[in-house]
Amino acid sequence: MRSRPHRPDSPFVNGQLALRASATNDRRERAGGAYVLYWMQATHRFEDNWALRLATLEANRLGTPLLVYQGLDPTYEHASDRVHSFILENARELAERAGRVGLAYQFHLRRRRNDDRRVVDRLAGRAVMVVTDALPTAGIAGRTARFAARAECRVVAVDSYGVAPAASFAKEEWAARTIRPKLAAIRDHCLERVRDEPPRVAMPPRLLRDLEFDPLDLAHADIAREVAACEIDHTVPRVSAVASGLTAARARLAAFCRGALADYDERRADPADADGSSRMSPYLHFGQVSAAEVARTAIAHGPAGAVAKFLEELLTWRELALNFCTRNPRFGTLHALPPWVHDTMRAHVKDRREAHYSLAQLERGETAYPLWNAAQRELVETGAIHNVMRMYWGKSVILWTRTYSEAFRHLVHLNNKWGLDGRDPGSYGGIQWCFGKFDRPWGERPVWGTIRSMSIPRAYKKFDAAEYERRWLGTTAAQGTLGV
């Protein structure tokens, strides 16, 4: 079913809910339902969460309690210790805070594929209506559509990803230059602080005890043991260097604002400077902190020029990626690229490649280029790659595979399997950018055609690549194997 705007009777918050919320089925509210259900899928926070705001307004309008439900199961793509741990550790913090902010929050961990399925369907079976998150990536849009088709009450999906609602931009934007002025026109309004209010009707404890599933006791759960018991990929380990949750996100953001923000333009260009950028992408991907909070904090701290550069990434590029994935259903394939890229790829597909590496060799960082291997190691160890190196990392694979589509598939696999920030609109925006998306034709070269070229040897002239290699490969630089 095509989604259409959901128009709650409650007053719209700041006008934004009207743009952010869409009905995903034709069902009505269930008369006599016990609660409004907020199914938390993509926005793992209580603050600045537009879906939670709508669910609260609707619960208040209908005079029912609000149930916040989050489930984690082993079936999502690339389910691993890395992602499971990050989600569960944040969930523990949410569970601790829920009571203080007046929310009833329940979490279900489905450890094995055959365990208790479709808890959310049973919860929806008693709800007046369901509110959930909208996100075009990470399988969320498809899961929501299937759920909405089964549900027997109204299901509304709400977009909380960006500072601006995705629906502010009616068509697919061509490039940063086309979305930038549109964002600038609405930015201040979208950044206005909106107070989060708790629901008026408290959840009766009796109802909570009677929810027909076995919620995870997050306060006492041994998260490492729980993760070990799940039917997921245990070869992609937890990233111990990146603490999960809003408290950790805010601490990292504060350190960035005190430190590198003032010199962001310069420091972000140096991959050897680990603190030169915010490292907010995992927190933003899982919605543990809102982009609006990150933007407001930066604006409050930094000199205007540096903040403008930071917002160019956080707003322009991030929301361009969201617009792309929202408006172009083929974002996960090369078909999403503009005609000039297809023309040039056709003309150069048979060009001789300088090397060929299999997916396994790339994954293990076994190329002849220590700098590339270092970037792969950064991804494997930390769940992200510095932005500048991520561009060299992505572009290089085009030179090392038989076809452009093979390169694309390998990049999506590596990025989404190992990235804590993977499966995000930014993942597809970034990878597609390597193939010419959002860009223009450049001078013609072998293999690249007119796609902008970027190759590892040139990186040595741009920044202290040797220092970056030392950091990630240490003494094993010559061999460069990652042991994955």
Q: Within 10 A of 128 (CB to CB), how many other CB atoms are there?
A: 21
Q: How far is the CB of 426 from ligand FAD (least distance, A)?
A: 3
Q: How far is the CB of 461 from ligand FAD (least distance, A)?
A: 19
Q: Which of 58, 319 has the CB closer to ligand FAD?
A: 319
Q: Which of 109, 138 has the CB closer to ligand FAD?
A: 138
Q: Which residues form the interface with ligand FAD (CB under 6 A)? A: 268, 277-281, 284-285, 313-314, 317-318, 321, 384, 387, 390-391, 394, 415, 419, 421-422, 424, 426-427, 429-431, 433-434
Q: How far is the CB of 239 from ligand FAD (least distance, A)?
A: 14
Whether residue 66 contacts residue 96, with contact meaning beta carbons closer than 8 Å, is answered with no
Q: How far is CA 484 from CA 422, 442, 481, in A?
A: 18, 37, 8
Pick from 137, 138, 155: nearest CA to 146: 155
Whether residue 223 contacts residue 88, with contact meaning beta carbons closer than 8 Å, is answered with yes
Which amino acid is located at 326 in the chain?
T
Q: Which of 66, 253 has the CB closer to ligand FAD?
A: 253
Which residue of the chain is nearest ligand FAD when measured via CB? 430
Q: Which of 65, 302 has the CB closer to ligand FAD?
A: 302
Q: How far is the CB of 433 from ligand FAD (least distance, A)?
A: 6
Q: Which of 281, 290 has the CB closer to ligand FAD?
A: 281
Q: Which of 201, 269 has the CB closer to ligand FAD?
A: 269
Q: How far is the CB of 421 from ligand FAD (least distance, A)?
A: 4
Q: How far is the CB of 392 from ligand FAD (least distance, A)?
A: 9
Q: Which of 96, 270 has the CB closer to ligand FAD?
A: 270
CA 483, CA 233: separation in Å to the nearest integer? 16
DSSP character at residue 314:
I
- Give percent helix, percent strand, percent coil of the chain, each to the nearest 5: 50, 10, 45
Q: How far is the CB of 218 from ligand FAD (least distance, A)?
A: 26
CA 434, CA 178: separation in Å to the nearest integer? 19
**Cα-Cα-Cα-Cα dihedral of 198, 200, 205, 210, to 10°?**
-90
Helix axes 387-399, 425-434, angle to 10 degrees: 50
Whether residue 198 contacts residue 56, with contact meaning beta carbons closer than 8 Å, is answered with yes
